[in-house]
A = this chain, B = another copy of it.
């Protein structure tokens, strides 16, 4: 089970399929739009770090010039699936090799028939290189014409980010190269594209395309006479580089293009690189094809979006596969995606965490502006880590009104989420050097933020966090959200541990950080004091109140609303939802899941039994189901867990939420790995030790996966 495929063309579900069939290599991704254009397509190539200004959302990944364009004419008739007769159609994404292939037997309106085989990949062996091959087997004597272009005129749903700079034709030993340079309008990031077209007829080289020098769309064109049974093979190589990579991106692009000799050679290097990925990351499930495919599909999409050579970028909530959330990164990274990378690909996890390290200045500035100390990371984070959560968005029902988005102001749990990712990375990798150099500062400065943000309640003699939003976004402006308070407490505790550890093992760095972060005895005392006296709303049985007053909210039976096709948020309305106990996603349970070593089964159970039936599992947050599956496993409810797992597994593949066209649900994809590994397999680690406690769905015949712990790879194989 390595392939996602379709054999029926459905131009109505084009956006969903474009997301599904996205290819990429951790440097960029290209959505699965066709080589030829169709109306309403969302054709997009998104390159890590290439952000540009946009109204309302402040910044977004700019949809880069299109490199796919290939217009084909059979005897002068333009190849388009909207015309003519489609005799055969199949599209396959091979997750193992990251190759997207389309086989089409098509009859032009004039009667000429040909089989066309399109293949494309974004090289994982050379992240600047993209390759597209089209083989045409004509069943007629006549002409075949192919036009290959680079198109600068790409937009993000109506917003244009590019200024054309220049284009030219460059002679090279391998043939004429069309070169294009563009620049983002505000952020002034330059992109260089270089394109070469190799043409073979019956395996004989037959190049020399004509050049159409139309500004902003350089085009190479070949027209050849063919006979029945001949084999026309066109390879379009495109190399891309940006001014983020080099001061002279065009030279860089040209060098990478020069390294590409032919499709097969480039593809071999690419598949070897993918072999390495799967050797580290693959999860094998036998006895359940849907689960097997869903897991590999999820890991494929995490892997193609994961920066391998760049620590200045993060993975957005929709990876690089769509316009949703505009490429901004959320807590989704540390809490949902990062565990997969930490356990299988520490080099990638490190890049993601170093990104947070590089955004410390912006996080400090965010805290400072709000009147606090330490590092308050952006709820939505992009190029610099400045807060880019929209503050106001047009009201869905009346665009003349605006709705206030509060997460950027109130979701303070983000700093502890980052600290959690750092701590977990250290625990799993045992990478002390990295932790001392980068991790410790992140944890300490996050703790400093919470110490300064906590408010002393003289009456109750405790610290509180008022006016926050927890993971459950159906309730905003709440006080003492349990997730926030307890994770902040945890953050403060491990910060103090961290400093002690540093003093022992890296005394110079301890000294440096003490000075840089002004960790005076008073400020450390404050951390300790807040950690000890933070308000915890837990009853004598261990039932935790999600936030102050939550238990007094109206309680309804969710099943009274079934069947439904909308979220409870929509059914109640944004304001009204605040008055009910219905929650969008696990909140207390999420906390218990993250800190599961601290809670015994009984305490988790009492909370599980309370919150599980009050969670909008079907139409609430897409972040919910996978984690819910993992928690259900902890509870031993494997059947329940599997139901949640399937819900997550289908979010993108079956588009059950109807929004897969906006891009992959990356947190859900990361959560699927956690559900399998921490849930069904029950993996626990402690120091360099690990243990599993499998509770597999009954149809699963085998579950096998790999992970790294303290520098060693371990293989789990559960029969």
Contact = CB atoms under 8 A, between A and B. Distances in A.
A39 B166 CA distance: 11
B185 A149 contact: no
Contact of A158 (B161, B399, B400): B161
A37 B164 CA distance: 10
Nearest to A186: B158
Contacts of A392: 392, 402
The A contact surface, by secondary structure, is: loop
Q: How many copies of the chain does the oligomer comprise?
A: 2
B394 A401 contact: no
Interface in A213-262: 213-217, 219
Contacts of A213: 147
Interface string A193-229: 0000000000000000000111111010000000000
Given A155-B160, A391-B400, A402-B402, A216 B217 contact: yes
A58 B399 contact: yes
A77 interface: no
B215 A212 contact: no
A34 to B, nearest CB: 14
Contacts of A149: 214-215
A242 B432 CA distance: 68
A158 B62 CA distance: 12
A159 interface: yes
A173 interface: no
Contacts of A509: none
20 contacts: A39-B163, A58-B399, A147-B213, A149-B214, A149-B215, A153-B153, A155-B155, A155-B160, A158-B161, A159-B159, A160-B160, A212-B212, A212-B214, A212-B219, A214-B214, A214-B217, A214-B219, A216-B217, A391-B400, A392-B392
A563 interface: no
Interface in A382-419: 391-392, 394, 399-402
Interface in A251-298: none
Interface in A603-625: none
Contacts of A161: 158
A402 B56 CA distance: 10
Nearest to A156: B160
Contacts of A214: 147, 149, 212, 214, 217, 219
A492 to B, nearest CB: 29
A110 interface: no
A266 B97 CA distance: 62
Given A153-B153, A160-B155, A160-B159, A215 B217 contact: yes
A705 B85 CA distance: 69
A424 interface: no
Contacts of A311: none
A55 interface: yes
A136 B615 CA distance: 75
Contacts of A3: none
Contacts of A217: 214-217
Across the A-B interface, give the 6 residue pairs with the lowest CB-CB distance, nearest first.
Answer: A153-B153, A214-B214, A155-B160, A212-B212, A158-B160, A391-B400
A427 interface: no
A416 to B, nearest CB: 24
A161 B216 CA distance: 18
A143 interface: no
A391 B402 CA distance: 9
Contacts of A159: 158-160
